[in-house]
Structure 1
Amino acid sequence: MLAPQLLRGAILSPLKRAPFDAPLPDSRPAVSELRVDVEQLDAYSRLCGFPTPGTGHGHRVLPLTYPHVLAFPLAMRLMTTRAFPLPLLGLVHTSIEIEQRRALTTDESLELRVHASKLAPHRRGTEATLVTEARVDGAAVWTSSSTYLARHRTTTAPATPRASKDEALPALGEWTLPRDLGRRYGAVSGDRNPIHLYPLTARLLGFPRAIAHGMWTAARCLAERGSTEASHAAHAAVEFKAPVLLPSTVTYAAEGPAFQLRDPATGALHLSGTLR
């Protein structure tokens, strides 16, 4: 039930203007004995491009990104507390790094934990890092570190430009992203941030129209890379470079462990990542 948390976050957002050196909450939301809903998992997998075995097959290997979805209500619980210093409204996911030690499956009972690890200044505001763990029988099997940016005026000097490491990779195809993608992903993930839903709600938060969820673009790229084949140890790192406006067309490119999403008209980089 994320709607009350979203409402609480929206109400508290105007009250949060903390600097990057503000204290972080000590709370560590957790849930134990969690079982995956196979129908919900399949709906997520279909939308993101992961394979589904079809009706009648109960056993599933979880996509590399799916524990993030399972733990999202815990992250929301943390980010909507009074103690969390950044406003929920307009918060933008800027990166995620995932370390999977072995495959997780729908046959297992999971324990999920989330905590905030740090705040840091950013040239466009303040960035928070949230760490998520998925445990089985007390052992951490899957860990992620996500950064979220609260945009605001800042006196922080822009970082010295560095040579880009994101040289264009060979294009492998184009994807057309529909106008309602944000609403569809919100339905399967629970992430209904207004910046993803409608042009009007996105414009109220500084975007020209709704933008795609970063975690959809990341999942779609990892699905294309065949991340479900890496059903044992896997490591993924994704940086969200620029918003993907909806509707739009993006170019998917990859070479070796690296992948990208780019604007086919301008070549502007939306996302870069690796899967190893």
Structure 2
Amino acid sequence: MSSSPPALELAEPPPLPVELLRAAVARRPARPGEVPRLEVRVRQLPPDPRRLALYREVCGFPEDGHLPLAYPQVLAAPLHLALLNRPEFPYRLLGMIHVRNHIRQYRRLEEGATLSVLAWVEGQREVRLGRELDLHTRVEAEGVLVWEAVTTMLRRLPGNEERPREERSAEAKAALAQEEELFASSRPARWSVPEDTGRRYARASGDYNPIHLYGLTARPFGFPRAIAHGMWTVGRCVAEMGEAAEAPSLTLTSEFRRPLLLPSKVVFQTVKAPSGGVAYRVRSEDGQPHVMGLLTTSSSPATEDGRERPGA
């Protein structure tokens, strides 16, 4: 069995625009390939105050001295792209779809903290539409694990058969009925999402993927207009949940359903989930779903004797 490629140790994250350019010119075979374990780490990563201020502004967070719950995902994004651009990775980055995100925060992070960030990818699994793989992110402060996430990506592959339409329709109707019952008691908030949201979030995150910038740059990729960044939508939801998202230890799950075209008018809803926590969703005014998720409190990582364990 061949050994995994060596881990990358970087002094600072690579610029996201450079990684996007590398992705645009990369060539990969169309057939499925093995995904080896690939790692990249930056040991000293202080958040940039200017970009953090832009992130707070575009998502709606107050200046409270702490990093918003989803902000470490922004810090890790260049490392994710660097992993997926490595020659050992078998698929083109462009065309991969962000389908789910799972975040665990073990304590609130001060905005001036210097963080150590490790990201890795390993393996994949077959799903109905192609292959799914997980990007793992681990954030430490002073040697202690404080935040981690799993970012699930989908690579559609030719030849993957769709299930019969009748079967999909029955499942979809049952899931929709259950979801509507859950949110029936919620008080919806209506948002107007401006046309420049993608450009504003790009200035905060460094993610200048053309599908998020203008209709002209999004159309070659099959979108009639620019679409919002998925993690902008998540960040905006977290900001709207206020104090519920300011607890020290939290778990946030998000499922991305459909792209959010810009500009748009959407409906944001929250409700107490039967299993605990706050369920949330964003849908269009005509009922098309964009994002659905759950925010819950979580416990700190610990060893068997109850002491907080250090990071790896």
Equivalent residue in structure 1 for 2:219, among 203, 207, 211: 203
CA distance in 2, matches of 1:208, 1:127: 26
For the pair shown, which has the larger CA radius of gyration, 1 or 2? 2
Which runs of 5 or more structure 2 residues have no equivalent in the other structure? 1-14, 273-277, 297-312
Greater shift, 126-135 or 147-156, is seen at 147-156
1:50 and 2:71 matched: no
3-state secondary structure, aligned to 1:204: helix
Equivalent residue in structure 2 for 1:128, among 130, 133, 136: 133
Q: Tell me the residue number matched to 1:269.
A: 289
**C-alpha distance 193-16 of structure 1, shift in aligned 2 (>3 A):** farther
Note the C-alpha offset of 1:157. Answer: 4.4
**C-alpha distance 129-229 of structure 1, shift in aligned 2 (>3 A):** closer
Greater shift, 170-179 or 117-126, is seen at 117-126
Which runs of 5 or more structure 1 residues have no equivalent in the other structure? 54-59
Note the C-alpha offset of 1:227. Answer: 5.8
1:169-204 Cα distance to aligned partner (Å, 9 max, x none):
224211111112111111110112222122232221
Give the aligned residue type for 1:63.
P
Maintained 8 Å contact 1:212/1:246: yes
**C-alpha distance 260-229 of structure 1, shift in aligned 2 (>3 A):** closer
CA distance in 2, matches of 1:42, 1:29: 27
3-state secondary structure, aligned to 1:15: coil
Equivalent residue in structure 1 for 2:281, among 236, 260, 265: 260
CA distance in 1, matches of 2:29, 2:70: 30
3-state secondary structure, aligned to 1:187: helix
Note the C-alpha offset of 1:118. Answer: 3.3
- The two structures, once aligned, show a CA RMSD in angstroms of 1.9
Equivalent residue in structure 2 for 1:65, among 54, 59, 70: 70
Q: Tell me the residue number matched to 2:120.
A: 115
Equivalent residue in structure 2 for 1:24, among 4, 27, 35: 35
Maintained 8 Å contact 2:69/2:245: no
**C-alpha distance 202-149 of structure 1, shift in aligned 2 (>3 A):** farther
CA distance in 1, matches of 2:76, 2:180: 33
Amino-acid identity (%) = 38
With normalisation by structure 2, the TM-score equals 0.79
**C-alpha distance 271-89 of structure 1, shift in aligned 2 (>3 A):** same
**C-alpha distance 227-147 of structure 1, shift in aligned 2 (>3 A):** farther
With normalisation by structure 1, the TM-score equals 0.89
Greater shift, 244-253 or 166-175, is seen at 166-175
Q: Tell me the residue number matched to 1:83.
A: 88
1:53-83 Cα distance to aligned partner (Å, 9 max, x none):
5xxxxxx211010000011111111111112
Note the C-alpha offset of 1:18. Answer: 3.8
Note the C-alpha offset of 1:208. Answer: 2.1
Q: Which stretches of structure 1, 4 residues or longer, exceed 4 Å deviation after superposition?
A: none
1:147 and 2:152 matched: yes
Maintained 8 Å contact 2:215/2:226: yes
**C-alpha distance 181-154 of structure 1, shift in aligned 2 (>3 A):** farther
Maintained 8 Å contact 2:28/2:90: no
CA distance in 2, matches of 1:137, 1:263: 43
Give the aligned residue type for 2:279.
A
